[in-house]
Chains A and B, each alone.
Chain A
Amino acid sequence: MTEDETATPPGARLAADPRLPADLRLIEALADGLPLTSHPYAELGRSLGLSEAEVLERLRRLLAEGVISRLGVIVRHHELGYRANAMVVWDVPDELVAGIGQRMAAFSFVTLCYQRRRSPPLWPYNLFCMIHGRERPTVLTQVETLTHSCGLLDVPRQILFSRRRFKQRGAWYGAGSVATVAECA
């Protein structure tokens, strides 16, 4: 359900967008968390000098444009019993990475999947996926499923389970508040 073929390189699309400042303030104010009150959008708008209708209209547009990838309840995996959190990385030939990434993303147990720039010699890996599971053996089985299904048996791979979480919260753009970027570690 989630292959995103329209993904653009970071920063390429909106950097010159003149609408950004107001939208940015809204995103930041919102991502700090909607107030848990009867009229949360009106309350959000009051702090930004926007009417409730303007807030709703802007949010609809930001969602439609894909600037906001989702609006809703943001859960903490660990507290809900998903304690086996693996970042799996592969060193895939550049010409194959898009096809393999899209195939990988179709597996329901893959929470996030993306390509990142390599940083040799320490880090030759370019394809990343995140799997959040309850038990480590299940996650390892899922990694083997991915490896076989995507033809990656001979591709260098690492599995990095998380140990301690030192910080998890929304991102911060410098306007005094926070937003969550879908770029989870």
Chain B
Amino acid sequence: MEDLERHLLDDFQRDFPLTPTPFADMAQRLGVDEAKVLETLRVLKAEGKITRVGAVVRPGAVGASTLAAMAVPEARLVEVAEMVSTYPEVNHNYQREHELNLWFVITTPSQERLQAVLTDIRDRCRCPLISLPMERSYRLDLGFGLAWT
């Protein structure tokens, strides 16, 4: 991987410049021009290595959210997972190695809406479902240190 890509992935996960021209400022720090920074970020995004340049919101700071899990029979897993993914309120949805094999995060503007989505998913999937709201965070998402090999 190019040096520039590494720096863009590593150095700007937090403390992104809050200036009128952040990409030009990043470029100056890295010794390249702004167009190169923008082009490289577009490539990283197209390759799926970054989802976006954006904000991570602290859980509970805005709206309501929970981590839910369901025990889905293997034969129905893809079908149920795709149905769960269709909800705009579901933002992460993973299969995990456990009897509770489908794990997803639901985020809504209100607690009422959160409960309604949970009930709706439970009714439609007809699988055991648990909801595990966060009570306290000990480590927030402050970026991810990449170890290059």
Contacts and interface: CB of A to CB of B under 8 A. Distances in A.
B133 A116 contact: yes
Interface residues on A, range: 35 or more
B89 A72 contact: no
A20 B88 CA distance: 21
A110 B56 contact: no
A126 B113 CA distance: 24
Given A163-B97, A173-B109, A182-B140, A52 B20 contact: yes
Nearest to A180: B56
Given A37-B38, A167-B85, A172-B89, A182 B96 contact: no
What's the dominant secondary structure at chain B's contact region?
mixed
Interface in B103-122: 103-105, 107-109, 111, 113
Given A30-B54, A116-B135, A80 B38 contact: no
Given A59-B18, A79-B49, A72 B100 contact: no
Question: Which of A40, A113, A160, A182 has the largest number of chain B CB atoms within 10 A?
Answer: A182
Contacts of A63: 18
Contacts of A134: 149
A165 B93 contact: yes
Contacts of A42: 20
Interface in A127-185: 129, 132, 134, 158, 160-175, 178-185
Given A4-B138, A182-B58, A171 B103 contact: no
A16 interface: no
B134 A183 contact: yes
A1 B142 CA distance: 9
A75 B13 contact: yes
Interface string B1-39: 000000011001111101111111000000000100010
Contacts, number: 329
A133 to B, nearest CB: 10
Contact of A117 (B95, B103, B133): B133
A66 interface: yes
Contact of A31 (B54, B97, B133, B137): B54
Interface of A: 1-4, 7-14, 20, 24, 27, 30-34, 36-42, 52, 56, 59-60, 62-63, 66-77, 79-82, 87, 98, 101-102, 104-105, 108, 110-119, 122-123, 126, 129, 132, 134, 158, 160-175, 178-185
27 contacts: A7-B138, A10-B133, A10-B134, A13-B60, A33-B54, A42-B20, A60-B18, A68-B55, A68-B57, A68-B58, A70-B15, A71-B15, A71-B16, A73-B50, A74-B56, A79-B48, A111-B139, A114-B59, A114-B137, A119-B132, A129-B139, A162-B97, A164-B94, A166-B84, A181-B57, A184-B92, A185-B92
